[in-house]
Structure 1
Amino acid sequence: MRILHTSDWHLGQHFMGKTREAEHRAFLAWLLEQVRVQAVDTVLVAGDIFDTGAPPSYARELYNQFVVELRQTGAELVILGGNHDSVAMLGESKTLLAQLGTRVIPGVGIDLHEQLLVLNRRDGSPGAVLCAIPFIRPRDVLQSQAGQSAQAKQTSLQQAIQEHYRSLYELAEARREAHGGGLPIIATGHLTTVGASASESVREIYVGALEAFPTNAFPPAAYIALGHIHKPQKVGGLEHIRYCGSPIPLSFDEARQQKEVLLVELTAAGLAAVTALPVPRFQPLIALRGSLDELRQQIAEAAALGSAAQPVWLEVQVGGDDYLSDLQPRIAAFCEGLPVEVLRIRRERGTAQAGLQRQAQETLDELSAEEVFDQRLAQETLEAQQQQRLRGLYRQVLGELEGEA
């Protein structure tokens, strides 16, 4: 059986004043072609279909169009909710999409059997049993107890998530036996695991112990398809536990990453092979760093990758501590007549004075909520451990607010 593992589409992302619609449209067309060429049986999307809980109409249109067009290829589609997704919004079309060969698991429900799926091959025969686990919110699996310390709450949450995986895996084993015992069991997840390398666009969704969910807490599935981390990677070097990453760069620090989806081949004996399918770059995105003299040359070189119809999007980070009141006009002069657009200008973090100067140049439109918090935190005299804890608590609040959207 062949499964195409993808995640973190973030349809509808608003990126520094730019829409990603054209990139997402091109990616989905490319993905459909891979399904046909590779004779894929099931496309598995491990969370964060949308960038927000209330995506723009064009993002919903792309989603619905993909469901219809994938149906024509003969492949199944499984959609898992992520921390960016609204459980209610994904769930509202669940019954309708089931008629088009798409199964949606927007969130963790009361009935475990709703997360237990048998995946079929193109000929209709069973090919695998799936523990379809979306993003798990604390309220889904844990009841808060008065008097618990923060660390105790995090430990309880980790144990509750581990128990959820264990219980569902036991049901999967029973389902496998009911089908004669010849089906591999696979699982999904939308979380951060031990050793995972994240990027600035990834919102940490757990704090404390759950910033690093241990790999030994997963059940012994043949393959575990993970989402949430945007950089493709094996977890702990293990072949069968993988993040496929996002299909397009969602922040400038992802600009150098080779994005990919994973073709997973399974047999009755388990995992046979995992093949990375590189995703083409549909929009040039480059982060530049250096002195003004160096940036002049770098911008000219970057322009070679763009065109009048599709200019290169740039982030420019200026090194050095010298304050220049006319920094933006100077950068604009370097770009004049070239097919480039500078979306963000940053000063290299150095002295406190340079930090204050950078803040004077930046506006709230250029900063994420976490960047605003980090800048405010930098003004306090705190130990590194205290800063890390405050960042963790702040990210937890952001995650909970997003979950309520």
Structure 2
Amino acid sequence: MRILHTSDWHIGRTFHGHQTLVALRTVLEALVSQVRENAVDLVLVAGDVFDSATPSADCYTLLTDTLVALRDAGARVVVTSGNHDSAARLGFQSRLLREGIHVLTDPARLAEPVTVADAAGPVHVYGLPFLEPALLRHEWPGVRTQEAAMTRAMELVRADLATRGGRSVVMAHCFAAGVEPTAHLERDIQQGGLDVVPLSVFDGVDYAALGHIHGRARLEERVRYCGAPLHYGFGEGGKPRGSWLVDLDADGRVSASWLDLPVPRRLVTLRASLDDLLTDPRFDADVDAWVQAEYTDTLPQRDVMRRLQQRFPHCALVVHAPAERAASDGRSYAQRVRSARSDRELFDAFLSHVREGEGATAMERELVADLLDERVAAEVRA
């Protein structure tokens, strides 16, 4: 059986305030083409279909269009919910979709697989929605962590599989041991030990299609993350976007290859002085990219975003990252204020604090001196 493993579509997510629906539609249309071109039998979408528990109507339209197109391309489709999804809202439309499209969101039915058959016999697909321990404690007493929740879920899966026989696939949305999340993107992940799921939890099934991490990862031959189909942060700019094409043979052995998806607009991080960013020809190739600009001037500059967007229309993020920082004297702001012997020194202490050690320039000191002299003259006249 040929399986396409995808996840973390995050329909409706914005990129630094910019909508991504049009770009995501382009990528998902390419994914549908890959399903058709590679004669895929089964598509797995392992959670975080939406980016919000309350997606807009346009988000539902994109999801429905994509699921129907995947089915029309000849594949069965199984979808599970992730931590960003509302399981109830995502599951609501499951009965409204055509035959061959399955949306699995109910933890009470996670041991009821979708069974897909090929010439070698049945393949049982168990879809585990995101399992929030706080919501499961009444049904599963003692479950207080992701590890405990996933362990309990897989016990139920293995018990059901033992009565059915045949090959098996499990879909899960969790943080598995052995993978490093991208801090900017997996903002929900608790990286402490309580939320890490050991790989041994997935013993007993032929393939584990995981979601939750936005970069691809091969933890074992049979346990993989495919990542998100679109870049959602500059920290992912160098990571490929795509999905795993998995062949499951008659004995349950797995072989997998990577299918790249198109990147509608590449991401770059540019670091230089503001003047170089605005004028240097070496950045000409980046004018159409999403740009994170790190300008290295010693002092903050004015109106930086507007000026950069005149050259880079898709500049989305600006960071002041001085190439050199003034050495700190180790004093706190309060200590600097207490030691100031005049208003001029007080002003200099303030600038040193807010500009990371860079005190007043000669021009600024002259301007402050003039202002203070005018204040003194006005007090005398009064």
Give the TM-score range, shorter chain.
0.7 to 0.9
Deviations 1:299-341 (A, max 9, x none): x5454255xxxx3221112346x22242x34x644553x4532
Q: 5 Å matches for 1:344-359?
A: 344-348=317-321
Q: Tell me the distance in 2 between the aligned counterparts of 1:90 and 1:144.
A: 22
From the superposition, tell whether residues 301 and 119 of structure 1 become closer, same or farther in structure 2 (CA, over 3 Å): farther
Aligned to 2:242: 260
**Segments ≥4 residues shifted beyond 6 Å:** 349-355
CA contact (8 A) 2:47 2:80 kept: yes
Report SS of the residue matched to 2:222.
Answer: strand
RMSD of aligned Cα (Å): 2.9
Q: Tell me the distance in 1 between the aligned counterparts of 2:353 and 2:93.
A: 47
Identical pairs, percent:
29
2:186 is matched with which residue: 202, 216, 230? 202
Q: Tell me the distance in 1 between the aligned counterparts of 2:232 and 2:192.
A: 25
Question: Is 1:279 the counterpart of 2:261 in the alignment?
Answer: yes
Larger RCO (CA under 8 A, 6+ residues apart): 1
CA contact (8 A) 1:317 1:345 kept: yes
2:174 is matched with which residue: 191, 199, 204? 191
Question: Is 1:2 the counterpart of 2:2 in the alignment?
Answer: yes
Q: Tell me the distance in 1 between the aligned counterparts of 2:272 and 2:195.
A: 33
Q: 5 Å matches for 1:175-254?
A: 175-176=164-165, 183-199=166-182, 200-206=184-190, 208-235=192-219, 238-254=220-236
Aligned to 1:16: 16
Deviations 1:373-393 (A, max 9, x none): xxxxxxxxxxxxxxxxxxxxx
Deviation at 1:206, TM superposition (A): 4.1
Aligned to 1:119: 116
Aligned to 2:313: 340
Which amino acid letter does the alignment assign opposite residue 286 of structure 1?
Answer: V
Deviations 1:129-161 (A, max 9, x none): 122112111134324999x9xxx944xx52342
Aligned to 2:128: 133
Q: Tell me the distance in 1 between the aligned counterparts of 2:353 and 2:171.
A: 41
1:159 is matched with which residue: 132, 143, 148? 148
Aligned to 1:90: 90
From the superposition, tell whether residues 260 and 100 of structure 1 become closer, same or farther in structure 2 (CA, over 3 Å): same
Deviation at 1:222, TM superposition (A): 1.4
User: Normalising by structure 2, what TM-score?
Assistant: 0.78
Deviation at 1:269, TM superposition (A): 1.3
CA contact (8 A) 2:300 2:320 kept: no
Aligned to 1:313: 290
How many correspondences in the alignment?
330
Q: Tell me the distance in 2 between the aligned counterparts of 1:163 and 1:354.
A: 56
Which amino acid letter does the alignment assign opposite residue 191 of structure 1?
Answer: C
Deviations 1:278-301 (A, max 9, x none): 111112322223443554467x54
Deviation at 1:205, TM superposition (A): 3.6
Report SS of the residue matched to 2:314.
Answer: strand
Aligned to 2:368: none
Aligned to 1:172: 161
From the superposition, tell whether residues 206 and 171 of structure 1 become closer, same or farther in structure 2 (CA, over 3 Å): farther
Of 127-136 and 45-54, deviating more is 127-136
CA contact (8 A) 1:318 1:348 kept: yes
Report SS of the residue matched to 1:340.
Answer: coil
Q: Tell me the distance in 2 between the aligned counterparts of 1:48 and 1:17.
A: 20
Q: Tell me the distance in 2 between the aligned counterparts of 1:100 and 1:297.
A: 57
Unaligned segments of structure 1, at least 5 residues: 177-182, 359-405
From the superposition, tell whether residues 161 and 301 of structure 1 become closer, same or farther in structure 2 (CA, over 3 Å): same
From the superposition, tell whether residues 312 and 186 of structure 1 become closer, same or farther in structure 2 (CA, over 3 Å): same
Q: Tell me the distance in 1 between the aligned counterparts of 2:140 and 2:155.
A: 23
From the superposition, tell whether residues 286 and 120 of structure 1 become closer, same or farther in structure 2 (CA, over 3 Å): farther
Which amino acid letter does the alignment assign opposite residue 27 of structure 1?
Answer: V
Question: Is 1:101 the counterpart of 2:100 in the alignment?
Answer: yes
Q: 5 Å matches for 1:353-372?
A: none
Q: Tell me the distance in 2 between the aligned counterparts of 1:357 and 1:100.
A: 62
CA contact (8 A) 1:222 1:270 kept: yes
Deviations 1:72-96 (A, max 9, x none): 2221110110000011111111111
Report SS of the residue matched to 1:265.
Answer: strand
User: Normalising by structure 1, what TM-score?
Assistant: 0.74
Q: Tell me the distance in 2 between the aligned counterparts of 1:355 and 1:101.
A: 63
Q: Tell me the distance in 1 between the aligned counterparts of 2:164 and 2:282.
A: 57
Deviations 1:39-70 (A, max 9, x none): 00011000001110111221111111112222
Q: Tell me the distance in 1 between the aligned counterparts of 2:354 and 2:86.
A: 37
Report SS of the residue matched to 1:51.
Answer: coil
Report SS of the residue matched to 2:66.
Answer: helix
